[in-house]
Chain A
Amino acid sequence: MPTRDRLRQELQSHLDLRIAELIADGVDAESARRIAAVEFGGMAGVEQECRDARRWHRLADFLADTRFALRSLRRSPGFALVAVLLLGLGIGANTVIFSLVQATLLRPLPYANDSRLVWLTEVDGQGADQSFSIPDFRDFQADRTVFSSMGGYRDLSLTITAAGRDAQQVPTRITMPETFETLGVAPARGRLFSAREQQANGPPVVIISDRFWHSYFGAEAGVVGQALPTSRGPLTVVGVMPPGFVFGPKVDLWAPYPQYVPALYLQDRADSFILYGVARLKPGVSLAAAGNAVSALSHNLAAEYPKSNATVRAKMMTLREQLTGNISASLWMVFGAVNLVLLIVCANLANLLLVRAAAREQEMAVRIAIGAGRGRIARQLFAEGLLLAMLGGGAGLVCAVAALPALTAALPANFPVLGPLTLNRPVLAFSFAVAAAAGLAFSLIPLVFNFREQLYPVLKQGGRHSSNRGLRAHASLVVIEVALAMTLLAGAGLMLRTMQALNRVALGFDSARLVTATVSLSSTAYRPVPARARYFEQLVRQAGALPGVESSAVVFPLPFTTQIAGCFIAIEGRVPAANAPQTSYYATVNATYFQTMRIPLVAGRAFTAADDAMGAPPVVVIDRGLAEKYWHSPAQAVGRRMEMFTQDFGHGTVPPATIVGVVGEVKSEAADKDANLEVYTPLNMANGFMTLVLRMRARPDAEAMAAALHTVFRRLDPSLVVPTPHAMSEIVAQSQSIRQQSMWLLEIFAGAALLLAGLGIYGVLSYMAQLRRREFGIRVALGAEPARLTRGIVAHSVKLTAIGLAIGTGAALVLSRFLATLLYGVTRFDPLTLISVALVLLISAIAASLIPALRASTADPRTALQAE
């Protein structure tokens, strides 16, 4: 670029030459200078224009382009509205789902350097999680080869007994020393536990969450030092955690572990498995190296304490994975689905833009004829695409803002979200990126179209562009849309069949019309087992007498809840192999339980009231799985004797019991998990925490039932917290809730994809038929049957759809491996699903093509030929 001086030199030399010419013609020098100057025009102005012509003047051009784009969009309001609406929905849905992904899988945990934190537990010989025993935990904590620090925790509930308020259960996490330090967090007010407070006989203290500080203490400033009254006595608040701090699902209180663990657990390596570990990797230590070290330590412990630790192994994973592992597959699947929908939206819009570009060919030609540069036109088309994308992005944000609260409310209660769903910076950045990518795609399409064609035809025969290249672009877009829709529909179909399979699974009991209410006997009066048994016996009787109740029972633990009770067993006459201790799960029930839950009796007899009585000879009932494992048939198990070893019965074992009956298996955790081996004990081994189960005669009126139960509970013991009743069917449904929700979302997106693809096909075929209207008119005039024309158009649509289906099926087969962990009862290549989904798409495509086909063939040939 010539410098300022060079430019002026050039312009000046022009002037000089002109002056010289004038002088040569005989003009005097003075007049020549004047004339030349006037002819030239203002030197400064010309200089500026030259400089402007050289510089791109990006900003001014950009604004001009944007204004032009706005005007051009305003001229076709229908197109603009449809485009912005479609884009808004597509980008909005994408943003909402991404905010969910971000809040769950991507947002950093509220701890320092959270990627270096790991979670640890111990598993038994069969890989079942049994958590750490305290001595084992201490051994791991002392080992400093790979961890810079390690903490531990256990979850329980504290009952808050404030005067004048209803007693409430608050989820609490008791933490070992060093836990908060491992997490690297500090309280917003007050302090963490002191060394003195983290001893077994230390002063009773508690750290509260920010949420609890607001809800219970009304956010009063002097909360540190205040007493929180609980059923264990008053706890002094020593600290308040910052807002947004989360450690434990719905946990609001943290207390020192040593104050809560009975002394006997402190030394017991064998049967007391009760805490989980959280550790921080040393800098430079990889996850794999830590895994090896942990494994080695487990082996050492197994060698050193063969009796208790022979088959015990430690298990480690990143803390993030522990929190979100079981839902990441579902979430990414839903995210993938919504992106597919957005791609279909973009394909539809690309079709619309191509049509528009063809219609504006004449406008482009005129503009070029009057001097607009190609580059300028290209930039303007680019600006139009970007403007459309930005408007769509804006509409998308509006949709997202509206939809976020709805999604938050619809999330199942146990969803591990690390904070509220908001449009924070990462989400906004993502939304912007998506809109920009879409804008880029849109701008390129008319550019490619316009500059591959000739730009200068001014008068064209027919007035409409009907080049093969344009039609092929439309056809390709239709194929792409069908392929995308097929992929999405295939995934949705597989999920639908999975849910169907899950719902058909026999649970082992009848969950219809069952009401449950879980009671916690949290006062010291119920420490002796006879007191508990008596309470529950009375509860069963009084609740069973309520109107509408067919039968009542109590159980611990209730199937499909997170409560689970494991034990070791020893069968009389079978010596367990050294490395394979016999484990099982157990439940405590009363005599009416099997009948109330309609669990079938397979051999022997169920419990009777005599078995429930204190001091009765020890008996157990086992399930069919256990019976068939150790004896050939259930009938053979009846009358045998076995022993159980559990942590809830202190250090000692239960006296050997006689097996009096065998019942059918019950799915105790989830429909898609195998039934656990189960040993049932009668009510004289009652827990302090059991669930009342009522079978109703008819569908219960929820409010009346709750009120009646409330009365029964208060009458029995007013000092206990009155539990909230839940329907068993809801509890069972909750165990599938995340899968269920993702399936619903997937169905919605698949439906949207089908609709959009159908509309796309309809639109493109209408357009193509309209382009060929003249051709059709001629053919009909020459005697062709309209029916053949119709068939031709429909056949064309079927051909495009078939290609799309083929591509989509291939894509579905490849992508379905990401779904594999979510499927149940159906393989990922399931032909039935693929075929049905393909048929649905094919029929939709044919339906979408019928109207334009019929319209094209019934067009009056005269009007078709005349419309030029």
Chain B
Amino acid sequence: MNASPDLLPGTLDLLVLKILALGPRHGYAIARRLRQISDTVLEVRQGSLYPALHRLERQGWIRAKWQVSETGREARFYSLSAAGRRQLAREAAAWERMSEAVKLVLAAAE
């Protein structure tokens, strides 16, 4: 088990939206993908993933549909909506600025 940093709730939204931008997935696949592409640094507690997914769905940024998955069973697939795509762009840009600023501060403190 890695000592993974706790994800801030706002950041979780950002990451979910980004992953879905690459194509529709169901919940388990999202968690797995996150683990994969972050080089296992980021691990989302599964208990917080699904509430986040449902919340994003209610906010209109992702859409859900029951479909047959790769295992042959039915699963609830989430996909990014147009509004979600815009929101992703906004949040990503903000995150960029924030991280730049933090980097500056850290560099200056030395």
Residue ranges of A at the interface with B (Cβ–Cβ < 8 Å) = 2, 6, 9-11, 13-14, 16-18, 20, 39-42, 45-46, 49-54, 368-373, 375, 456, 458-459
Contacts and interface: CB of A to CB of B under 8 A. Distances in A.
B73 A13 contact: yes
A373 B59 contact: yes
Given A456-B94, A458-B98, A46 B10 contact: no
A14 B27 contact: yes
Interface of B: 8-13, 26-28, 31, 45-47, 50-52, 54-55, 57-59, 66, 71, 73-76, 90, 93-94, 97-98, 101
B55 A14 contact: no
Contact of B52 (A10, A14, A53): A53
Contacts of A373: 59
A356 B74 CA distance: 52
A16 B73 CA distance: 11
A371 B9 contact: yes
Given A13-B28, A45-B47, A369 B55 contact: no
List 9 tightest A-B contacts by C-beta distance, closest first. Answer: A371-B10, A41-B47, A371-B9, A53-B55, A49-B51, A456-B94, A53-B54, A53-B51, A17-B28
A369 B51 contact: no
Residue among B13, B52, B94 with most chain A CB within 10 A? B94
A46 B51 CA distance: 7
Nearest to A20: B71
Grouping DSSP codes into helix (H, G, I), strand (E, B) and loop, the B interface class, with mixed when no group exceeds half, is helix
A369 B9 contact: no
Contact of A46 (B50, B66, B90, B94): B50
Contact of A41 (B45, B90, B98, B101): B45
Nearest to B95: A369
B84 to A, nearest CB: 13
Contact of A13 (B52, B75, B98): B75
B27 A49 contact: no
A369 B47 CA distance: 22
B46 to A, nearest CB: 5
B59 A375 contact: yes
Nearest to A17: B28
B36 to A, nearest CB: 13
Given A17-B71, A375-B59, A458-B97, 17 more contacts: A13-B26, A13-B28, A13-B75, A14-B31, A46-B46, A46-B47, A50-B50, A50-B54, A53-B51, A53-B52, A53-B54, A54-B58, A369-B10, A371-B13, A456-B97, A458-B98, A459-B101
Nearest to A39: B46
A41 B50 CA distance: 12
A49 B47 contact: yes
Contacts of B98: 369, 458
B50 A11 contact: yes
B99 to A, nearest CB: 11
Contacts of B76: 2, 6, 10
A51 B45 CA distance: 18
A622 B99 CA distance: 101
Contacts of B54: 50-51, 53-54
B81 to A, nearest CB: 16
Contacts of A372: 10
Contacts of B12: 371
Contacts of B8: 370-371
13 contacts: A9-B74, A11-B50, A13-B74, A17-B71, A50-B50, A53-B52, A54-B54, A54-B55, A54-B57, A370-B8, A371-B10, A371-B13, A373-B59
Nearest to B55: A53
Contacts of A368: 10, 94
Contacts of B58: 53-54
